[in-house]
Chain A
Amino acid sequence: MNSLFEYVLRLGDDSLILGHRLSEWCGHGPILEEDIAMTNISLDLVGQATSLLGYAGELEGKGRDADALAFLRFDRDYKNVLLVEQPNGDFGMTMLRQFFFDAYRKPLFEKLQHSTDKHLAAIAEKSLKETKYHLKHSSEWVIRLGDGTEESNARIQDSLNTLWRYTNELFFTDEVDAELVEKGIVPSLQEIQNEWNATVTAVLTEATLTIPTNNWKQEGGRKGLHSEHLGYILAELQYMQRAYPNMQW
């Protein structure tokens, strides 16, 4: 197996699917500023996906570019974590999902920007600057809503109870990671998880939210086994290329 291809594909799919999810808020944000913020973040993520999937295509060496990977694969070939394909829910749920993701991506990119793989390091260095803004935005909203009114607290606590089961998959590891960690190309996810735990505990505590004690966790995305939601995302995402093959914007 081409481990680096698989690894970069996973990162690219996370960005692509979350970017697409966030774009669904375009024109539907609770206030104009947040509508703009979510679409800005979506744009950053889709941009990162373009860089990552473009590089994945090069690593694969079969002539597939970023567009071919984004638009012309079947659901089982997408390797994003289940968290990013979960429905937007209300604004609080979207912010919480974003926060879990940003708190994982920031330390990951901090390490990856020093990767011995120069191309991956360059993408990470670029993306890290954007991710810092995303994390600041999402974590502040989690605190504001958790430590807000009775209603906002109850609703985001519900979202927390729903999304918590998907967080562990961010740290899913298999032979792909093992090989690259051993070669010193990517960091061990254990380090990233420790930092994630610290950030999440601090923010959720500040937000007066209760971390669920039920530790049952759902995974499968990294192996291509998705929740039913991904199919609906792909139906929309891929429609133009499927209906009008090779059409250009």
Chain B
Amino acid sequence: MVTENDIWGYLEEVADPEIPVLTVVDLGVIRAVRLENDQCFITITPTYSGCPAMKMIEEQIIEKLNEKGIPNVSVDLVLAPAWTTDWISESGKAKLLEYGIAPPENEVDKSVLFSEPTVVPCPKCGSRNTRMVSLFGSTACKAHYQCNECLEPYDYFKCLK
């Protein structure tokens, strides 16, 4: 008999399509798992409104659970409460760093004009002597930084609260 805990375990095998080093559980986009008789209900939330990966995540979840012998899966998308980078697991943050993406720092409100960019340590050499190149990076959830010491250009998973 499959339990909800088993389902959470299976979802650990579903990678985020844009950042494959993270699972969808690490990313915090799985909001609920519910089993009712032989029907499995999964609730997910998008990181950004226009995140193009959501459809793929939904399909991958269904495919994975089908593969695990759970035929009836429905995936529901909710917007509230809105996703925040606080929901990325500690192990997820460690995996990001290892992958070369700086994990979110605890930032202040971004609405302040010309505020000093957040200091984001270089994921390669650890130096704090880095600079923000652009607030917008290769995907909606990332900013672009460069290390002034080792010159490594890198992505920063920007804080969303």
Contacts and interface: CB of A to CB of B under 8 A. Distances in A.
Contacts of B119: none
A129 B113 contact: no
Interface residues on A, range: 20 to 34
B49 interface: yes
A130 B48 contact: yes
A84 interface: no
Nearest to B109: A132
Given A44-B50, A46-B50, A47-B51, A37 B135 contact: yes
A122 B46 CA distance: 12
A129 B111 CA distance: 10
Contact of B80 (A40, A126, A137, A140): A126
A21 interface: no
A76 interface: no
Given A129-B82, A132-B111, A33 B48 contact: no
Interface string A158-180: 00000000000000000000000
Interface of A is mostly: helix
A203 B112 CA distance: 12
Interface string A30-43: 00011011001101
A123 interface: yes
B137 interface: yes
Contacts of B114: 140, 143
A64 B4 CA distance: 35
A129 B160 contact: yes
Contacts of B139: 40
Contacts of A51: 49, 79
Interface in B5-20: none
B161 interface: yes
Contact of A121 (B78, B80, B140): B80
B144 interface: yes
Contacts of A44: 48-50, 140
A126 B111 contact: no
Nearest to B83: A126
Contacts of B82: 122, 125-126, 129
Given A122-B82, A126-B79, A33 B50 contact: no
A133 B160 CA distance: 10
Contacts of B137: 36, 40
Interface in B67-89: 78-83
B161 A129 contact: yes
A139 B158 CA distance: 19
Given A126-B80, A136-B111, 20 more contacts: A36-B136, A40-B136, A40-B139, A44-B48, A44-B140, A45-B50, A46-B50, A50-B50, A118-B80, A122-B80, A126-B82, A126-B83, A129-B161, A132-B110, A136-B112, A136-B135, A139-B113, A140-B113, A143-B113, A203-B113
7 contacts: A47-B50, A47-B51, A130-B49, A130-B140, A132-B110, A137-B135, A143-B114
Interface of B: 46, 48-52, 78-83, 109-114, 133-140, 144, 158, 160-161
